Amino acid sequence: MNATSSYAYPQNEDLRKLVHFSAKDGTIWLAENRMLLLHVMAVAGLRKELINSVGLEHARRIITRMGFASGTRDAELAKKIRGQQNPIDAFMVGPQLHMLEGSVKVSPIKLDMDIALGRFYGEFLWENSWESEAHTQEFGIQKDPVCWMLIGYASGYTTAFMGKFVLFKEVECTGCNDPHCRIVGKPVDEWSDADQFTPYFETDSIISQLLELRTQVDVLRSSIEDQYRLDNLIGESPAFKRAYNLVSRAAATNVTVLLTGETGVGKERFAHALHDLSNRKEGPFVAVNCAALPADLVESELFGVEKGAFTGAHASRAGKFERADGGTLFLDEIGELPLPAQAKLLRVLQEGELERLGDDKPRKINIRIVTATNVDLECAVKAGKFRSDLFYRLNVYPIAIPSLRERKQDIPHLANAMIKRFSTLHGKRVEGLSDKAQQALRSYQWPGNVRELENMIERGIILASNGSHIEVEDLFPNPEMRNDDQVAIDESGNLEPSSGGEKAPVSEMFFSSNMSLDAIETLLIEEAVLRAKGNYAGAARLLGITRPQLAYRLKKNRGGEDDKSQAATGEPTT
């Protein structure tokens, strides 16, 4: 079947009837398809930006595929509207819609098609191509044809109509200073140079790969955020479970909670868990590190300030307390709070209201206060650095967050979760920890607790080679920290427990020493204080007990020294 330029299109009334402008709803329709009436110059601007940002080749691919998609849609419509008519008239829906949509004026030169046999040859003349106009206006006359979206449309339309890939090529283009654009379409396997053109129709472009990766990254990021929050709250050890249990029971009430524990045990994450488990979880969680607030700004930061309260207070501002209204306020390192701020905090706790600096209007607030400290507040009270009335207010429900030493059995779980998180974050594929690295983690004393483990694992991920295991050297760059001597290999080459840190050898040493338990304790405490160079907090850390526990034991033992008749502590130890 042939058609020439004298071919008369069927009436396009059936197609025009499909277009509906519904200005009232802000919509335009072509049958079931929502359409857009856009400014050509705006689309031209988008095209320019696209070319400048991703380059000509990728831009061409994106634009071609965009045309391909709309051609495909219109082919669906063609079958619906003129499916019952002769195939040529049915096919002409494409060119006619292309004109109706304002893209280009299409005149058939030659058309030979047989859907059943899959035969297709089409040649068309294009005039008034919007795309050529827009492109040359931005970029001037080109060497290669520029009607990418239109070619995409013709190919997409014909491909969907024929049920096989029909590739159109622009053999003349006004963008190249030809008098008109002319296109030729054939099944893709009939083009000898199809390889040059098919890539523009493929989705598998760098751009779509990038977009796909972008999506993956976003998904992973959000799952990391969740995981990050939960990382430190992984544990099976009794010490961990005890603390978590106390947190979850407190969550059901509105009680003021005091979290104690060494630096790095994850007090903020426990506080956050408390918030998430409570019925305030929809409200804000506001965390403040009292030690990080500049002394002269503590009160305005916490309680807010009214304009003109002091030089520099140019505007009224809500403090952290007001920001936490309806939720949870977490005050970390509460022991560092200056005394005047302590007095104000006490008032908030007692009366449930506060006044901004420079304002005498009381403001009601509804918050749960969670505080945390790594210093002994009782000692601070005795030293006059912390108000005793405030201490009793805060100490209603104390929860001791265990150190990592007290929950060593959790280390493998924690480490695995962190490895997963950091390898995603750093785009590294790591097989896990080497056996030696695992052993080193078990025997290390963790003065910096979970935070230290976290830093160490992240460093390990960064240093480990891709596809390999994290090794001891990756975790402990400082050889002195490695406890290398504690990891031995037996005759058969298996790892065996260290002779220093594990239970069996220690008990062996104990029973063969003929020393009393108290004497051993004294020996260990003295050694720890010595190693920590007289720093009690450091000594307590080495022993895996709290500083108050150490203070108690020291007092007990000193009492022993005063009374020489108590042999237990006076026992010679060497």
Binding-site ranges for Zn ion (CB under 5 A) = 129, 132, 147, 173, 181
What's the closest the beta carbon of residue 160 comes to Zn ion, in angstroms? 22
3-state SS assignment for residue 370: strand
Q: Looking at beta carbons only, is 137 or 223 nearer to Zn ion?
A: 137
Nearer to Zn ion, 33 or 137 (CB): 137
Residue 104 CB, nearest approach to Zn ion (Å): 8
Q: What is the 8-class DSSP label of residue 317?
A: B
CA–CA separation, 445 and 541 (whole Å): 8
Whether 301 contacts 358, CB under 8 Å: no
Least distance (Å) from Zn ion to the CB of residue 101?
16
Q: Which amino acid is at 286?
A: V
Quote the least distance from Cβ 184 to Zn ion, whole Å.
13
**Residues 154/72, Cβ–Cβ less than 8 Å:** no
Distance CA 160, CA 408 (A): 64
What distance in Å separates the CA atoms of residue 198 and residue 201, rounded to the nearest whole number? 5
Q: What DSSP line would sit under 20-77, residue for residue?
A: EEETTTTEEEETTEEE----HHHHHHHHHHHHHHH-HHHHHHHHHHHHHHHHHHHHHH
Residue 159 C-beta: closest distance to Zn ion, Å: 20
Burial code (b: 16+ CB inside 10 Å, e: under 16) for 518-554 equals bbbbbeebeebbeebeeebbbbbbbbbbbbeebbebb
| Closer residue to Zn ion (CB): 108 or 304 | 108
Give the H/E segment covering residue 299.
helix 298-303
- Distance between CA atoms of residues 284 and 404, nearest Å: 29
Closest separation between CB of residue 174 and Zn ion, Å? 5
Of 179 and 312, which has the nearer Cβ to Zn ion? Answer: 179
> Which CB sits closer to Zn ion, 129 or 438?
129
Torsion, Cα 231 234 238 243, to 10 degrees, reads 60
Nearer to Zn ion, 178 or 325 (CB): 178
Nearer to Zn ion, 154 or 542 (CB): 154
Tell me how far, at minimum, the Cβ of 119 lies from Zn ion, in Å.
Answer: 26
Structure tokens at 418: 């962190």
DSSP string, 79-122: HHHHTTS-HHHHHTHHHHHHHHTTS-EEEEEEEEEETTTTEEEE
- Runs of H (alpha helix) within 352-487: 377-382, 388-394, 411-425, 435-443, 449-463, 472-475
379 contacts 537 by C-beta, under 8 angstroms: no
Tell me the three-class secondary structure of 169-184, residue by residue.
EEEECHHHCCCCEEEE
Helix, strand, or coil here: 260? strand
Best CA proximity match to 248, nearest among 227, 226, 279, 287: 279
Q: How far is the CB of 121 from Zn ion (least distance, A)?
A: 20
Tell me the closest approach of the beta carbon of residue 213 to Zn ion, in angstroms.
Answer: 34
- Cβ–Cβ contacts within 10 Å for residue 345, how many? 25
**Shorter beta-carbon distance to Zn ion: residue 179 or 572:** 179
Shortest distance in whole angstroms from residue 148 CB to Zn ion: 9
CB of 207 to Zn ion, least distance (A): 23
Question: Chain-centre distance of CA 351, in angstroms?
Answer: 40
| Cα dist from 20 to 29, 101, 104, 361, whole Å | 5, 12, 20, 61
**Residues in contact with 548: Cβ distance below 8 Å, sequence separation at least 6, in sequence order:** 376, 378, 379
Name which of 181 and 399 has its Cβ closer to Zn ion: 181
CB of 165 to Zn ion, least distance (A): 21
Place of tokens 């030979």: 112
132 vs 232, beta carbon nearer Zn ion: 132
Q: How far is the CB of 65 from Zn ion (least distance, A)?
A: 18
Q: Return d(Cα 86, Cα 333) in angstroms, integer.
A: 83
- Of the pair 132, 374, the CB lying nearest Zn ion is at 132
Structure tokens at 236: 């099976």
Q: How far is the CB of 180 from Zn ion (least distance, A)?
A: 8
Select 180 or 451, whichever has its Cβ closest to Zn ion.
Answer: 180
Nearer to Zn ion, 129 or 371 (CB): 129
Nearest CB to Zn ion, comparing residues 126 and 422: 126
